[in-house]
Structure 1
Amino acid sequence: MQLSLSLSRSPLESVRDALLCEFGPQRPVARMDPISQLVKSSISGSTPDAVSWAAFLRLRAEFKCWEDLAQASEGRVLEIIHDVTHAQDKARRLPLALRMIEARIGWLSLSHLKTLTVDAARHELQSLPGVGVKVAACVLNFSDLAMRSLVIDTHVQRVAKRIGLVGSGDATHAYHALMDLAPEAWTADDLFELHWLMKRGLGQMLCPHEAPRCGACPLKHDCAKIGVGHSADVLAWRPRG
């Protein structure tokens, strides 16, 4: 661990506090139902937010209800979400995932997940086609289920590596590592806030893949990879001094 933190506190607390001082509190304004969140998150991977939101709104305008989307052909869905990344795969998997939920539950709903543990709910979601650890966490945390699950996207994973919170590994490894560091007292809203601070604030505004603005970063004094730019994920730690 490279951050010079008090042993009595989780490293995530110090990271959050520093980012809160820079960007202020970030709380969810509104939450969608879990099926709507699943639809939105399933088409969002590797796609700019503006593009995925526009595609989601087109889906919502095209279909009177998500049950109609479940029965739609791949071609019809592809026409609507054509500009998202990996559109053909998503157009095939999304209706199938919705039909699988209907077959399991008897109708199109995920409200029962609230009665499960976070891990059990996440595993059930990840058994659906096209749903990995990120999409599952989005459904659990961003929707009105409001469960304790941290969304790990590419920005969060990148900056978590750069500041020494996680080591090498995939998003699943990063999810478990960061959830292990999250204080038990933190709520779903606290984890939503941490995701926003690490993604929007740190990952997109200050520490993008290339040309990070290290001088403006509130974590710069504790980041051993300061100034290494887009190679920060693969280079060895720099000595400080």
Structure 2
Amino acid sequence: MQLSLGLWRSPLESVRDALLCEFGPQRPVARMDPISQLVKSSISGRTPDAVSWGAFLRLRAEFRCWEDLARTPDAQVLEIIGDVACAEDKARHLTHALRLIEQKVGWLSLNHLAGRPVDEARWELQSLPGVGVKVAASVLNFSSLAMRALVVDTHVHRVARRIGLVGSGDTTLAYQALMRLAPGSWTADDLFELHWLMKRGLGQMLCPDQAPSCGACPLKHDCAKLGIGHSAEVLPWRPRGA
């Protein structure tokens, strides 16, 4: 039993290795400060990357600093980010969240989270309006905080279910399940890389919501074994040969 435990390999390692062979490394080139990442991630939900980046760049061009954004009427913010999904709610939540950070910290900064345990920092972020587990993980992992949190967006959640890494449940349950599978030796950069491999490489290019290209998928053998891709039912992951 001790030998088998010592040889156990997380399925996330196999997924990452297969996707790396197909799509190559996806390491971060530059990281924004945590507040900028919060602004970007808060307007990105259910919105194509090109659209959310456009809205974010318009915000940066409009305001001298994020403190100015925090004091801007919601209607004015809405005019700038109007093409993102749920823009009215995001405009209201974003300015409110920024003001709450100022009130709690004393100034507009999230740098204090660097010294916190990951889950404690995540819960602090999730106490802000409009911030769920995906936005919180994005701030922790994508920003200069560079903390061990996997960003589970719609694409990552979908493909994780299809290949049997997670079962039914919401994004929070999927995040918790995938973080339990993440090897302790993995760094923030490793989790960043896994996110982009699963999102852009697998989720957007090969395994979209409709008509996945199963024949070209580097994980097709696992999917075939588990019956994924042809059924709405997702079976729990099990090692090859089990």
Please classify the TM superposition score into its range, dividing by the shorter chain length. Answer: over 0.9
Matched, 1:95 2:95: yes
Aligned to 2:148: 148
Alpha-carbon distance in structure 1 between the residues aligned to 2:24 and 2:52: 26
Tell me if structure 1 keeps the 8 A contact 2:74–2:92.
yes
Matched, 1:184 2:184: yes
Task: Please give the residue correspondences for 1:66-145 in structure 2 after superposition, counting only pairs within 5 Å.
Answer: 66-145=66-145
Matched, 1:34 2:65: no
Alpha-carbon distance in structure 2 between the residues aligned to 1:64 and 1:225: 53
TM-superposed deviation, 1:161: 0.4
Structure 1: gaps of 5 or more residues? 1-5
Tell me if structure 2 keeps the 8 A contact 1:160–1:166.
yes
Aligned to 1:202: 202
Alpha-carbon distance in structure 2 between the residues aligned to 1:137 and 1:226: 27
Tell me if structure 2 keeps the 8 A contact 1:122–1:133.
yes
TM-superposed deviation, 1:155: 0.4
Tell me if structure 1 keeps the 8 A contact 2:164–2:228.
no
Alpha-carbon distance change, 105 to 114 in structure 1, aligned in 2, over 3 angstroms: same
Alpha-carbon distance in structure 2 between the residues aligned to 1:236 and 1:179: 19
TM-superposed deviation, 1:8: 1.4
Is the partner of 1:164 in helix, strand or coil?
Answer: coil
| Paired positions, count | 228
Alpha-carbon distance change, 120 to 168 in structure 1, aligned in 2, over 3 angstroms: same
Code of the residue aligned with 2:227 in structure 1: it is: K
Structure 2: gaps of 5 or more residues? 1-5, 236-242
Matched, 1:161 2:161: yes
Where in structure 1 do 4 or more consecutive aligned residues deviate above 3 Å?
none
Tell me if structure 1 keeps the 8 A contact 2:58–2:80.
yes
Is the partner of 1:80 in helix, strand or coil?
Answer: helix
TM-superposed deviation, 1:235: 3.6
TM-superposed deviation, 1:166: 0.2
Alpha-carbon distance in structure 1 between the residues aligned to 2:135 and 2:93: 13
Aligned to 1:3: none
Root-mean-square deviation (Å): 1.2
Alpha-carbon distance in structure 2 between the residues aligned to 1:95 and 1:15: 38
Tell me if structure 2 keeps the 8 A contact 1:42–1:135.
yes
Tell me if structure 1 keeps the 8 A contact 2:162–2:234.
no
Aligned to 1:213: 213
Alpha-carbon distance change, 212 to 124 in structure 1, aligned in 2, over 3 angstroms: same
Deviations, residues 100-140 of structure 1 (Å, cap 9, x unaligned): 00000000000000010000000000000000000000000
Is the partner of 2:218 in helix, strand or coil?
Answer: coil
Is the partner of 1:99 in helix, strand or coil?
Answer: helix
Tell me if structure 2 keeps the 8 A contact 1:214–1:226.
no
